[in-house]
């Protein structure tokens, strides 16, 4: 796609087009897939929303405000910086496995208990956890990590319905766990990748 065609797109369409291109350039072809590109796009969106920690001024955020630019090269460079950092986290945190990982029964219970939250409450809880992850350097698979933290924590907790105060307390607990998780090393996400057929 030409720079002229890219320049005629809206900001979101730019990002969706450029991320797969840059990812193919930088990533091991064996690891690249449409699912990986989609994960990177989701993480970039989370990064844009939540990278507002002290020391990250408005100019830094504006650098990634794609709609503010008409210069495709500048857009590509800004996204390329993000992807370079994202790839390091991807290599550390994500492992592809030949069989679907077995689900922890506590996570299954957590999925059920999550239904006691309204859609708005659930969105706000997830946003708080994702923000904490991003601001502590966890910029890869943020939505999956936040979901796993929430469901795992609910699955190990009391089976009784949570009061409003307990939901507030849960958010603080999840944010603390997100900070603790950011200080760990090694894989956290296991993605099922069926082996290619032989022959």
Residues 75 and 109 in one domain: no
Residues 59 and 109 in one domain: no
| Confidence check: pLDDT of 142 > 90 | yes
Q: Convert the pLDDT of each residue in 68-109 to its tens digit.
A: 445 667 778 888 999 999 999 999 999 888 787 777 887 888
Containing structural domain, residue 127: 105-185
**Mean per-residue pLDDT, 53-61:** 48
User: How many domains does the chain contain in total?
Assistant: 2
Residues 62 and 143 in one domain: no
Percent of the chain with pLDDT over 90: 48
Confidence grade of residue 198 (pLDDT, cut at 50, 70, 90): very low
| Confidence check: pLDDT of 18 > 50 | yes
Q: In the listed set 69, 97, 125, which residue is the last one of a domain according to the structure?
A: 97
| Confidence check: pLDDT of 141 > 80 | yes
HEC letters along the chain: CCHHHHHCCCHHHHHHHHHHHHHHHHCCCCCCCHHHHHHHHHHHHHHHHHCCCCCCCHHHHHHCCHHHCCCHHHHHHHHHHHHHHHHHHHHHHEEEECCCCCCCHHHHHHHHHHHHCCHHHHHHHHHHHHHHHHHCCCCCCHHHHHHHHHHHHHHHCCCCCCCHHHHHHHHHHHHHHHHHHHCCCCCCEEEECCCCCCC
Q: Convert the pLDDT of each residue in 148-176 to its tens digit.
A: 999 999 988 777 888 889 999 999 999 99
Residues 50 and 135 in one domain: no
Residue keyed to tokens 């006691």 = 116
Specify the pTM: 0.81
Residues 68 and 31 in one domain: yes
Residues 73 and 158 in one domain: no
Residues 155 and 119 in one domain: yes
Q: Do residues 26 and 91 lie in contact, with contact meaning Cβ atoms separated by under 8 Å?
A: no
Whether 196 maps to a domain, the answer reads no
Residues 89 and 136 in one domain: no
Q: In the listed set 54, 80, 97, which residue is the last one of a domain according to the structure?
A: 97
What are the tokens at 65? Answer: 């405000």
**Mean per-residue pLDDT, 129-142:** 95
**Mean per-residue pLDDT, 110-123:** 92
Whether 127 maps to a domain, the answer reads yes
Residues 75 and 110 in one domain: no
pLDDT (0 to 100) of residue 96: 81
Residues 51 and 11 in one domain: yes
Q: How far apart are CA 135 and CA 175, in angstroms?
A: 11
Q: In the listed set 74, 97, 120, which residue is the last one of a domain according to the structure?
A: 97
Confidence grade of residue 56 (pLDDT, cut at 50, 70, 90): very low
Residues 87 and 119 in one domain: no
């Amino acid at each position: 796609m030409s720079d002229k065609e890219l320049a005629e797109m809206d900001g979101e369409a730019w990002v969706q087009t450029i991320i797969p291109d840059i990812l193919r350039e930088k990533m091991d072809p064996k690891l690249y897939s449409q699912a990986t590109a989609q994960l990177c796009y989701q993480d970039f969106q989370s990064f844009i929303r939540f990278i507002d920690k002290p020391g990250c001024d408005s100019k830094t955020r504006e650098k990634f405000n794609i709609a503010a630019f008409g210069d495709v090269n500048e857009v590509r460079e800004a996204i390329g910086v993000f992807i370079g950092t994202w790839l390091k986290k991807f290599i550390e945190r994500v492992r592809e496995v030949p069989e679907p990982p077995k689900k922890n029964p506590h996570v299954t219970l957590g999925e059920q208990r999550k239904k006691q939250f309204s859609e708005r409450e659930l969105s706000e809880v997830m946003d708080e956890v994702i923000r904490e992850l991003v601001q502590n350097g966890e910029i890869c698979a943020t939505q999956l990590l936040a979901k796993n933290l929430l469901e795992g924590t609910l699955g190990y907790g009391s089976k009784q319905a949570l009061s409003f105060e307990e939901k507030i307390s849960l958010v603080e607990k999840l944010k603390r766990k997100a900070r603790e998780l950011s200080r760990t090393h090694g894989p956290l996400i296991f993605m099922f990748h069926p082996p290619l057929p032989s022959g």
